[in-house]
Amino acid sequence: MLAILHPNTALDSAEYRQTMHYLENLPGVSVRVHEVQGATQRLTEIYLLGDTKGLNKEEIEALPAVERAVRISDDYRILGRHKDDRRQSGFTYNGVEFNQSNLNIFAGLCAVDVPEHVEMMMQALEDNGQVCTRMGAYKPRTNPYSFQGHGKGCLPWVFEKAGKHGIKVIAMEITHESHIEEIDTCLEKLGRPTGVMLQVGTRNTQNFELLKAIGRQSTYPVLLKRGFGITLNESLNAGEYLASEGNANVIFCLRGMKTEAGQPHRNMVDFAHVPAVKRLTRMPVCVDPSHSVGTREKSPDGILDVMHATAQGVIAGANMVLVDFHPKPEKALVDGPQALLMHELPAYLEDIHLCHDTWKKRQAIYQRLKDNASE
């Protein structure tokens, strides 16, 4: 069962203390508290886990700090959608809103290489009105001799340049829990010129100890990539690992499935699952067309496959796009052949916004259909 407190309930108030005293003394029930910071208010959600079938919903709702109670199913208890569940989807971080209705674009370097390229990328983003990017400092690689990323050595100048160009959120993959402290220490030392969204790569989707470590901190939101060789259900449960430890500010990223059936693309593009994830959970959904397609091949219409894949995801309702760009792909240390070029950025952004507007118009069509059917 889930008890949702009145908005902005103070944790030191008498109402909160009385409510918690009652809940913490329920036999056979454990209590987990989650704070959800929205754009205009803070919500406190209290999850009652264990033997909750006998709990009286009305009694819980009668507690002084409780606004309403919701019975939850076993699947995706924290991040999932449940009957009579009117909780908001998404969160606000460093002034940027992430939810199941809006769209944020994270164009940037798959792997940070030299300061010059980071500067060029962020300047282009600023020139095109963007406040988010991707910058890979830690890179898990299949080949142990391949470039593994500059690690904490590049963090100071990446964060400083982000602040200089008004970048508010950087998606940055981590591969070990020590990376959280490295990022936090560097940001704090620099006066937090930007924000970071911790990215869990496809190889670590079932690295449960890493998921728990990331979930135990609430400073940074999380971008969780789907595991490339496991089911959607298994990947969504990875999100629950994060949320069950306390961090429910999670975005789920579709990045393609590893199968020979996906050829000639690098992976089988799975963006048809965008509406499925939004139906099953309250998480905003991201698409990563670069790692799904993996090439710069184009169709006879002159449009790159990666751009077509992006359109498929956005028209289906994606809320975030994670995409590789590079000023000089021939010099990129990771995934240069799939990177989009700087002069393509304005057209790519225009295409994405066109697709997002089309999704909104599609919504309106079916809303009218629903309204007409109810008359």
pLDDT(74) > 80: no
Specify which of 136-150, 165-179, 225-239 reaches the highest per-range mean pLDDT: 165-179
Residue-level pLDDT at 32: 86
Which 8-state DSSP code applies to residue 331?
Answer: G
Regarding whether 329 and 259 lie in a shared domain, the answer is yes
In a domain, 179, yes or no: yes
CA distances from 85 to 35, 55, 78 (A): 17, 18, 11
Residue-level pLDDT at 38: 66
Residue-level pLDDT at 211: 96
Residue-level pLDDT at 162: 98
Residue-level pLDDT at 85: 67
Residue-level pLDDT at 336: 83
Q: What angle do CA 330, 336, 341 make, to 5 degrees?
A: 80
At 147, the pLDDT band (50, 70, 90 cuts) reads confident
Regarding whether 213 and 157 lie in a shared domain, the answer is yes
pLDDT tens sequence across 279-294: 999 999 999 999 899 8
Regarding whether 243 and 202 lie in a shared domain, the answer is yes
Q: Which of 3-12, 103-112, 142-151 is the least confident region?
A: 142-151
Regarding whether 34 and 181 lie in a shared domain, the answer is no
Higher-confidence residue: 131 or 52?
Answer: 131
pLDDT tens sequence across 4-61: 999 889 989 999 999 999 999 999 998 888 887 666 777 888 989 888 888 999 999 9
Report the CATH number that the domain containing residue 27 is assigned in CATH: 3.30.70
Report the CATH number that the domain containing residue 339 is assigned in CATH: 3.20.20.70
In a domain, 79, yes or no: no
Q: What is the pTM of this model?
A: 0.88
Residue 44, both tokens: 């406190």
Contacts for 63 with CB less than 8 Å, ≥ 6 apart: 3, 18, 19, 22, 23
Regarding whether 112 and 28 lie in a shared domain, the answer is no
> What total of structural domains would you count in the chain?
2
* 3-state DSSP helix/strand/coil % of the chain, to nearest 5: 40, 20, 40
The CB-side HSE value for 260 (13 A sphere, CA atoms) comes to 0
- Mean pLDDT across the chain: 92
Structural domain range at position 260 = 91-369
pLDDT(309) > 90: yes
At 333, the pLDDT band (50, 70, 90 cuts) reads confident
